[in-house]
Amino acid sequence: MPSSSLLLSRRDLDFQLYDWLDAEALTRRARYAEHSRETFDDALDLSERIATRHFAPHNKKNDQEEPWFDGEQVHTVKEVSEALGVFAESGLLAAAVDEEYGGMGMPHTVATACFSYFQAANVGTSAYPFLTLGNARLLCAHGSREQIDTFVRPMLEGRFFGTMCLSEPQAGSSLADVATRAEPQPDGTYRLFGTKMWISGGDHELSENIVHLVLARVPGGPAGVKGLSLFVVPKYLVGPDGSPGERNDVVPAGLNHKMGYRGTTNTLLNFGEGAHHRPGGTPGAVGHLVGDEHRGLAYMFHMMNGARIGVGAGAMALGYTGYLKSLAYARERPQGRALAAGGKDAAAPQVPIVQHPDVRRMLLAQKSYVEGALGLLLYCSMLVDEQRSAAAEEDRARAELLLDVLTPIAKSWPSQWCLEANSLAIQVHGGYGYTREYDVEQHYRDNRLNPIHEGTHGIQGLDLLGRKVVQHGGAGLRALDGAVRETLRRAEAAGGEAAALAGTLGGYWERATTVTARLWESGDPETALANSSVYLEAVGHVVVAWIWLGQFLATLSADRADAGAEAFLRGKQQAARYFFRVELPRTGPQFDLLAALDTVAAETDPDWL
């Protein structure tokens, strides 16, 4: 049943979840025993239905009438609140949380697929619950029982929303410079003072309360990131009965007006500036410490890894829906004639532009990016499930290592290439695609945020090359090496074209590991890291080629029973071929540059620019 919603292809989701990743096997594990293919499919159906009916229709409106600030509070168009009400009602948010916290314990893999529908339909509106989910998961992992009862349960019910407050105007990529101060109080609470920047969902009237998770510094602690502690700071203080009461001293000081992603309000937030200070009371915003002092960044990273994969998923979803829309347009729009049929013979009828090879090239490129990105994200989500549910400790540890090393790629690769997909989707539409009457224009603007937030592209490069591939004595890279070689072996065993693809990938993978070693052989972090962004891009492309090889293998044994299966599987194979022939070779000159330890950029004196 191919999708008609133009959000994601359900046929592709089914193929990736069941034919390739065998997500159904998860239901044989104790943790997911309550589930079945039917409950998975029901959740996917429900997600597509709600996303199509309640999220997609106001996507453009939420862009054109972005949230506004009246000096006191932030307002959003009414459709946002309606959509979020339906979403809360559906129970999907809680679906991805463990039963002990009031959830349904659905595998992360299925939740990722479900949530992608919402991101494809309306990335601005869907950010509210997804930020809330990240917040809730962090508190489940590191908060006290009381914090979970007070804040997590209402978040999972959709009554409270959550944020994460890390950046400050002077501290974005450099969290070591966070200056917000948290003064301990005799009653065990803290009072916070400072300003946080880029806070998505930082203020609105969409929920009964907003639960801010805030990085701040307890006076007397170590300098830098080692002195950061994490606090829950609710917009309204919560009474003993759990209901929101008095206003806490957290106030929006203004909104950021973005190129895209406009539906998600983004605020500058002041903590403890005195706007809600009761005469005679202690000044500052009331905060509750999460876990121990000075361990805030480690806790936040727990959320940030999930958030980074979420950014990749959002980028993928925008790329995916843009692909489907440009494909639909290319099938309908008549323009010009096929070269084979005489080219400029004006007496012949025009053909749909999908008949032109260059348009097919742009569509196939998009397909290879978005289906590759979906695969990467579902694979990473499977690793989360593996980490949670594998029987052997060894398998759980291996999943964690793999997830760690893949996270910067899962964040950055879709952000780069699914943005490129959106650019191609515009190009397929021609001038129409550049107008705000067509969806692809907005997708491109929305998607441009993704290489920036949750750690820029450059930060991901440093994370991958400077941390992930070297930490634990290189165990992360070894785990990835094992996973890649396992796929190569299966492809070689399959013979024919699969074996040929494996031969190609094997060469590039060898190159990636050799270059990694070469970079660190230099013994000089500055030289090693001079081109870490290039490294990120090259390794990212090789990793996605590996994902494509896995999918190619799955086509060989997939069920061809229903009418559209054959064409779908041929398309899947063709996209894999495209990726291997056109995309993978791009990494050759990148690896050459890295292997040469090139420092042309690093050695450039700022005065020469």
Residues acting as catalytic residues: 454
CB of 338 to its own copies, least distance (A): 9
Nearer to its own copies, 73 or 174 (CB): 174
- 453 belongs to the binding site for its own copies (CB under 8 A): yes
CB under 8 Å, gap of 24 or more: what pairs does 22-27 form?
Answer: 23/107, 23/109, 23/110, 23/382, 26/107, 26/109, 26/385, 26/389
**451 contributes a contact to its own copies by CB under 8 A:** yes
User: Does 577 engage in binding with its own copies (CB under 8 A)?
Assistant: yes
User: How many Cβ atoms sit within 10 Å of the Cβ of residue 176?
Assistant: 13
Distance from C-alpha of 565 to C-alpha of 558, rounded to nearest angstrom:
9
Euclidean distance between CA atoms 421 and 441, whole angstroms: 12
Q: Which stretch binds its own copies (CB under 8 A): 28-36, 425-433, 491-499, 512-520?
A: 425-433
Which residue's CB is nearer to its own copies, number 485 or number 577?
Answer: 577
Q: Tell me how far apart the alpha carbons of residues 513 and 591 are, in angstroms, rounded to a whole number.
A: 10
CA distances from 502 to 7, 507, 514, 576, 586 (A): 32, 9, 18, 12, 17
Task: Name the segment binding its own copies (CB under 8 A); options: 67-75, 277-285, 551-559, 601-609.
Answer: 601-609
| Structural contact between residues 427 and 299, judged by C-beta atoms closer than 8 angstroms | no
Q: Name residue 286's beta-bridge partners.
A: 191
| CB-CB contact of 172 with 197 (8 Å) | yes
Is there binding between residue 526 and its own copies (CB under 8 A)?
yes
Span interacting with its own copies, options 181-189, 239-247, 454-462, 504-512, rule CB under 8 A:
454-462
Three-state DSSP class for 271? strand
Q: Of 209 and 266, which CB lies nearer to its own copies in the complex structure?
A: 266
Q: Quick one: 207 or 587, whose CB is closer to its own copies?
A: 587
In contact, 132 and 303? CB cutoff 8 Å = no
Determine, following the binding rule CB under 8 A, whether residue 30 of this chain makes contact with its own copies: no
| 195 beta partners | 270
**CB of 283: closest distance to its own copies in angstroms?**
26
86 scored as a contact of its own copies (CB under 8 A) = no
The structure tokens listed for 564 are: 């559209």
Give yes or no for residue 441 binding its own copies (CB under 8 A): yes
Give, as ranges, the residues between 322 and 341 that touch its own copies (CB under 8 A): 327, 330-331, 334-337, 339-340
3-state secondary structure of 139: helix
Judged by CB, which is closer to its own copies: 245, or 588? 588
Is position 444 an interface residue for its own copies (rule: CB under 8 A)?
Answer: yes
Contact between 570 and its own copies by CB under 8 A: the answer reads yes
Q: At its nearest, how many Å lie between its own copies and the CB of residue 202?
A: 13
257 binds its own copies (CB under 8 A): yes
Q: Considering only the stretches 83-91, 440-448, 475-483, 496-504, report the one whose residues sit in contact with its own copies under the rule CB under 8 A.
A: 440-448
Q: Which stretch binds its own copies (CB under 8 A): 234-242, 308-316, 445-453, 547-555?
A: 445-453
C-beta closer to its own copies: residue 284 or 451 = 451
Q: CB 6 → its own copies: shortest distance, Å? A: 13
Provide the mask over 456-495, with x wherever binding to its own copies is found by CB under 8 A and - wherever it is not: xxx--xx---------------------------------
Residue type present at position 456: T
Using rule CB under 8 A, residue 259 touches its own copies: yes
601 binds its own copies (CB under 8 A): yes
Work out whether 604 is an interface residue with its own copies (CB under 8 A). Answer: yes
Least CB distance from residue 536 to its own copies, whole Å? 10
Taking the complex as a whole, the smallest distance from the CB of residue 7 to its own copies amounts, in Å, to: 17
Structural tokens at position 294: 């000075």
Site residues for its own copies, window 347-406 (CB under 8 A)? 347, 350, 352, 354-365, 367
Q: How far is the CB of 367 from its own copies (least distance, A)?
A: 6
CB closer to its own copies out of 35 and 457: 457
Residue 602 contacts its own copies per CB under 8 A: yes
For residue 18 the two structure tokens come to: 């069941």
Q: Does 309 bind its own copies (CB under 8 A)?
A: no
264 lies in the binding site for its own copies (CB under 8 A): no
Say whether residue 102 binds its own copies (CB under 8 A): no
Note whether 167 binds its own copies by CB under 8 A: yes
Interface with its own copies includes 415 (CB under 8 A)? no
Strands 190-200 and 209-217: unpaired
Residue 218 near its own copies by CB under 8 A: no
Judged by CB under 8 A, the stretch of 47-55, 92-100, 118-126, 531-539 that binds its own copies is 531-539
* Range list of H helices, 21-160: 37-50, 59-64, 78-90, 92-95, 108-121, 123-142, 145-147, 153-156
Which of 249, 247, 287 has its CA nearest to residue 269? 249
User: 48: closest CA among 92, 100, 17, 78?
Assistant: 92
**Residue 428 tokens, joined:** 């397929």
Terminal-residue alpha carbon distance, the chain: 56
Residues paired with 238 in a beta bridge: 244
- Best CA proximity match to 509, nearest among 475, 547, 471: 547
Q: Judged by CB under 8 A, does residue 1 bind its own copies?
A: no
Residues numbered 505 to 524 that lie near its own copies (CB under 8 A) are none
Token code pair at residue 510: 């060898």
- Give the whole-angstrom CA distance, residue 126 versus residue 318: 12
Size of the site for its own copies (CB under 8 A): 101
- Number of Cβ within a 10 Å radius of residue 194: 22
Cα angle, residue 199 at apex, residues 382 and 288 outer, rounded to 5°: 85
3-class DSSP state for residue 68?
Answer: strand
Indicate which single residue of 47, 407, 532, 555 sits in contact with its own copies (rule: CB under 8 A).
532
Note whether 606 binds its own copies by CB under 8 A: yes
Phi, psi values for residue 215, rounded to 5°: -85, 125
Beta strands 160-165 and 209-217 are: parallel
- Of the candidates 251, 253, 257, 258, the one whose C-alpha atom is nearest the C-alpha of residue 268 is 253
Q: How far is the CB of 2 from its own copies (least distance, A)?
A: 11
Residue 184 or residue 352: which is nearer to its own copies going by CB? 352
Tell me: does residue 162 bind its own copies (CB under 8 A): no
